[in-house]
Amino acid sequence: MRIKLFADAESVAEEGARRIAARARTAIALRGRFIAAISGGHTPWLMLRKLAGQDVPWTGLHLVQVDERVAPAESDERNFAHIRESLLNHVPLRPEQVHAMPVEFPGLEAGAMKYAGELARIAGLPAVIDLVHLGLGPDGHTASLVPGDPVLEVTDRDVAITGVYQNRRRMTLTYPILNRARQILWVVTGGEKTEMFSRFRNGDRTIPAGRVRRDHAIVLADHAAAGEVK
């Protein structure tokens, strides 16, 4: 795992956008397709706005979600609403290239199975995502893999439903599909992350983020999140 530190969240977002665009160009040149999975968060929305201005061969890109809150379509709690505002409204992605998690599907477990099938259709069986963007919560969670939730132990499904976390259930990618990704791009900003960043950096597998494979990972963090880490 490689860690790169930056002065502030905007610099992290800029570098994240640049790296996603570069990976997209390489993957599309090699395989004709680039599949990126995006998480939520304030810095990621800034990163997506910057990605919209990058040189990306958009016709070959597929966008999927890492996780989503079970909330009404119009809710600003939905990650997809921010993905649309930050990126989709500004780039020429066709509807068939954008794969929103079906959290309004009748029956959440059925919706999770449906999304896993969609991932298999575009990314193979087992599904392999080119780049997964992840964040780190102050409690050590990543995606919607939160401390104490039974979803942490799911090994036979790529998509699962969590219990209630911060007043919402979530649909989330699970460890198996995260750990098959060709690259993990961590974006970590803010002083409230300092303790967990240190534990994550040191490979603490007792926090959810620590169980994501590290050999294909790059971490972009600001100095506030890294604390004294240099």
Cβ count within 10 A of residue 164: 11
C-alpha span between 207 and 132 (Å, rounded): 19
The answer to whether residue 60 is domain-embedded is yes
3-state secondary structure (DSSP) of residue 3: strand
Token digits for 66?
């890492």
Q: Which CATH number is 101's domain given?
A: 3.40.50.1360
The answer to whether residue 164 is domain-embedded is yes
- The tens place of each residue's pLDDT in the chain, 230 residues long, gives 999 999 999 999 999 999 999 999 999 999 999 999 999 889 999 999 999 999 999 999 999 999 999 998 878 889 999 999 999 999 999 999 999 999 988 899 999 999 999 999 999 999 999 999 999 999 999 999 999 999 999 999 999 999 998 889 999 999 999 999 999 999 999 999 999 999 999 999 999 999 999 999 999 999 999 995 44
The answer to whether residue 75 is domain-embedded is yes
DSSP string, 47-100: HHHHHTTS---GGGEEEEESEEES--TT-TT-HHHHHHHHTGGGS---GGGEE-
Domain tally, the chain: 1
The answer to whether residue 59 is domain-embedded is yes
3-state secondary structure (DSSP) of residue 193: helix
Which residues span the domain enclosing 96? 2-134+158-185
Residue 123 zone, left/alpha/beta (φ > 0; ψ -120 to 50; rest): alpha
Amino acid at 224: A
The answer to whether residue 177 is domain-embedded is yes
The answer to whether residue 217 is domain-embedded is no
The answer to whether residue 100 is domain-embedded is yes
The answer to whether residue 33 is domain-embedded is yes
